[in-house]
Chain A
Amino acid sequence: MTRRDWIHGWLLVLPAMALLALFTHLPAVTTVWNSFFSTPRGRRPAVFVGLDNYERLLNDPIFWKVLTNNLWFALGTIPASIALAIAMALFVNQSFLGRGFVRMAYFTPTVLPLIAVANIWLFFYTPGFGLIDQLIGLFGYGQTNLLGSPDTALGAIMVVTVWKEAGFFMIFYLAALQTIPPQLTEAARIEGASSWTIFRRITFPLLMPTTLFVSVNAVINSFRLVDHIFILTGGGPDNASSLLLFYIYETSFRFWDTAYGATLTVVMLVLLCILAIGQFFLFDRKVHYK
């Protein structure tokens, strides 16, 4: 390549590079940098403290609490929403009367604004006269406070998340299902395969690229969730429903402990990188791309 071509190339890449560097790479590096300093307060500037922030993190019971919460949250929501998404996609991939309506209904939670969704569920969960209490009241059960008790708060949020995510993932699965030629299923049927065998040996393996894509997204989403928690529980009671990002938000912007917030963020970034890389390497061997 001539010198001129090089300049041309760099000029073409420049706008995107500038945006990425300014809003992604630079903040990431600054975050790592900040995590080695103390939080500046008033006239006291930030001082280099080395790994002090990380030591504090290791001894922080709330950090471990939200990390465990996040783990349970991911384990609870990801497989459930993926399984539900596949089931819904398989269902609406058949032809029946009102299929368009059902597809739309499944996708509605994705279209609705997060804040509105959280508020609707807040009403569902309301002790005494919420939808859930009214329903179980019919069977003679008493009042519940699903969002208010430490044992059920996280579970209640997980239900909302699955409800919200499954419809979105279903769209990907539906698109993938429609690229599988129906002759494959027919050929398998003639060879005596049951519906379950067809799903296990043909449909599901052919959906693997989608599953990989969806699960990477789902993992990232599970670490990114704050909005539901804001409306539904505020992380409580006693951090029972607080997740990592919510804790970062509270630390950095409510308690304004930016240095510790930066430290938590670094941990989360590292965690997400490991997970994403791991998923790609682990799954990739089992995924058939066309």
Chain B
Amino acid sequence: MTTTIKTGGRDIRLSGVSKNWDSTQALSDVNIDIPAGSFTALLGPSGCGKSTLLRIISGLETASAGQVMIGGTDVTTAPADKRDLSMVFQSYALFPHLDVAENIIFGLRTRRVPRKERQKRLNRVAALLGLEDYLDRKPAQLSGGQQQRVALGRAVIAERSVCLMDEPLSNLDAKLRQTMRTELRVLQRELGFTMVYVTHDQVEAITMADQVVLMNAGRVEQIAAPQDLYERPATTFTARFIGTPPMNLLPAEELREAGVALERATGSRLTAGLRPEALHIAAQSPLSMTVTGIEYLGADALVHGVLGAAPLILRVPGQSLPNPGQPIPLAFAPRDLHLFDAATGHRVDLPDVASTLSRAGVPAGSTGATAPSLQTEDL
């Protein structure tokens, strides 16, 4: 891939953005800073408002309250075409009656770019995306992946400083999705624009983004780098949303003495969070899990069980599997224990978790996987 297209990104700043439709509140008080040239993923379950937020950034929708700044200019009420951005839709939104070339240069035509310049840029973008052989085809004659490339081509040819994408990979099959993830990331780095990328797939968000904005029910749950999101979830929602299988959440009392000591230290009821990959089998431990079932995955296996009354999942290597009914003594490193306020769900940080745990006799074991688990059905 050789290219001379280079667009410096612009930063995006959302402050206090809200959106209501009649009585339903789609977004409430969203504050996000998106640095210039970064790749930011808006992640969340369906219906959390992430697409609405993207449409507000694009200008296809206007915010009910709050301010949208792009590159230092207030564009809250500016129409979409005055914001100097491009957008890729989930359905690609290719014009079915125009061929690939016309689809890609549509924006150049509406902006009356001279024919010679249009052709030059078209050739460059076609080469960049490997579309040279398809320029005179209609979208219906292309495969899903090729259509996706055409949509990308239409977005990058104008060399905008901001590019918005609304679940652009969700219509592709698993294998293609994986290659496109890498290509998109490379493309964004190469061209240097600011990318805002909406997805409901944590794998996409975590593998591609510099910064992930996790949303839930119209609110921002956490804004962090992928690694921080996995290692230091700010709420129980983040803890459960990121990672597969999700983090085990259990009342702190189920950790026996250690849990009681921790609750005493904070003076409030706590929820303990332990990732399945952070739990290890110890020789001896006051915490003993009873195995109820095994889910064999090949390289490793998920052991389902109960600790006291709380269900628990533990990830073990695939070779030596415990039997159902067998008690397993558990160990985990202090830094792998996440504590949340049971009432609010917010993260609680205690300075001396390690000493509390060792005083209660919980063996530390080695620390768990520190990289996000990317085990999802599409890999």
Contacts and interface: CB of A to CB of B under 8 A. Distances in A.
A272 to B, nearest CB: 29
B225 interface: no
Given A186-B89, A197-B110, A290-B140, A191 B95 contact: no
B122 to A, nearest CB: 14
A187 B59 CA distance: 11
B176 interface: no
A181 interface: yes
Contact of A181 (B60, B87, B91, B97): B91
B81 A190 contact: yes
A190 B86 contact: yes
A205 B158 contact: no
Nearest to B164: A190
A135 B366 CA distance: 93
A266 B111 CA distance: 53
Contacts, number: 65
Nearest to A287: B97
B93 A184 contact: yes
A212 to B, nearest CB: 14
A190 B154 CA distance: 11
Contacts of B87: 186-187, 190
Contacts of B85: 190
Interface residues of B, number: 23
Interface string B99-119: 000000011001100000000
A183 B91 contact: yes
Interface string B135-157: 00010100000000000001000
Contacts of B96: 206, 288, 290
A45 interface: no
B60 A190 contact: yes
Given A187-B87, A290-B140, A192 B110 contact: yes
Contacts of B107: 190-193
Contacts of A192: 81, 107, 110-111
Nearest to B79: A189
Interface string B66-98: 000000000000011100011101010101110
Nearest to B82: A192
A201 B111 CA distance: 14
A186 B60 contact: yes
B58 interface: yes
Given A191-B110, A191-B158, A184 B95 contact: yes
Interface string A173-189: 00000000101101111
Contact of B81 (A191, A202, A205, A206): A191
B61 to A, nearest CB: 10
Kindly name the residue among B59, B85, B86, B106 whose own CB sees the greatest number of chain A CB atoms within 10 A: B106
A202 B95 contact: yes
A192 B111 CA distance: 7
Contacts of B80: 186, 189-190
Contacts of B86: 190-191
A186 B58 CA distance: 10
A177 to B, nearest CB: 15
A213 to B, nearest CB: 16
B77 to A, nearest CB: 15
Contacts of B60: 186, 189-190
Contacts of A191: 81, 86, 106-107, 110-111, 154, 158
Contacts of A205: 97
Contacts of A188: 95, 106, 110
Contacts of B158: 191
Contacts of B138: 288
Kindly name the residue among B95, B97, B140 whose own CB sees the greatest number of chain A CB atoms within 10 A: B97
B60 to A, nearest CB: 5
Contacts of A197: 110
18 contacts: A184-B93, A186-B89, A187-B93, A187-B154, A188-B106, A189-B60, A189-B79, A189-B81, A190-B80, A190-B81, A190-B86, A191-B86, A191-B154, A193-B106, A193-B110, A201-B110, A208-B97, A290-B96
Given A184-B93, A186-B89, 5 more contacts: A181-B91, A183-B91, A190-B86, A193-B81, A201-B106
Interface of B: 58-60, 79-81, 85-87, 89, 91, 93, 95-97, 106-107, 110-111, 138, 140, 154, 158
